[in-house]
Structure 1
Amino acid sequence: MIPNASGTDPVSPICSAKGCRAAAVWVLAWNNPKIHTPERRKTWLACEEHREQLSQFLGVRGFLKDVVPLKEWQADEEGRPPVGP
C-alpha cells in the first residue's frame, strides 16, 4: 500500500493504462535517455492485462529498463524512487 495524494489513507496501486482501474501487480521501470540521466528510473504500474501493452509502448521507444513484480519492487524500494503512475 502507498499513501494517497493527501498523504493519509493508504490506497492500492492501480494500473497506469488509460482508463484502467485494476490493481497493479507489475512495475515498469523506464527512462528517456534524451532527458534523463542513465541511473534515473521513472515508473509505470501495470495490471496483468496491460503489462505487455505498456511494455511494448516503452520498449519500441527504447525507454523500458526493467519489469518487476510490484511486491518485489516494494520490498527492494530502499534507494529507489517512489512507485507511481
Structure 2
Amino acid sequence: MTENEAPDVAVCSAKGCTTPAAWELLWNNPKLHTPDRRKVWLACDEHRQSLSDFLGSRKFLKDVQPHT
C-alpha cells in the first residue's frame, strides 16, 4: 500500500450507509442454502437492530457477533 492509499474498511450493509461495520449478522435462507451455510451482512451500531429485524422476520437470522 502506498502512502496515499487508505486501507479497506468494511462498511455497514444498510442501503446508503458508509459507517464502518461493528457487527456481523450471520444468516441463511433455508430454501436456498444448506443448514450449515452462513452468509454475512455487516452492520453499524445504528443499523444493527433494523437489519436484524429484517432478517429475523423472515426467519433467516442465525447469529449476531462483533465484527473483527
Query: Unaligned 5+ residue runs, structure 1?
Result: 1-8, 72-85
Structure 2 residue 19 is matched with structure 1 residue 22: yes
CA-based RMSD:
1.0
1:63 maps to amino acid: F
Q: Secondary structure at the match of 1:43?
A: strand
Runs of 4+ deviating beyond 6 Å: none
1:37-76, aligned counterparts within 5 Å? Answer: 37-71=34-68
* Larger fraction in helix: 1
Letter in 2 for 1:31: N
Name stretches of at least 5 consecutive residues in structure 2 with no aligned partner.
1-5
Identity of aligned residues (%): 63
Higher relative contact order (CA 8 A, sep 6+): 2
Give the TM-score normalised by the residue count of structure 1: 0.72
Q: 2: CA distance between counterparts of 1:41 and 1:10? A: 26
Residues matched between the structures, number: 63
- TM-score, normalised with respect to structure 2: 0.89
* Structure 1 counterpart of 2:62, one-letter code: K
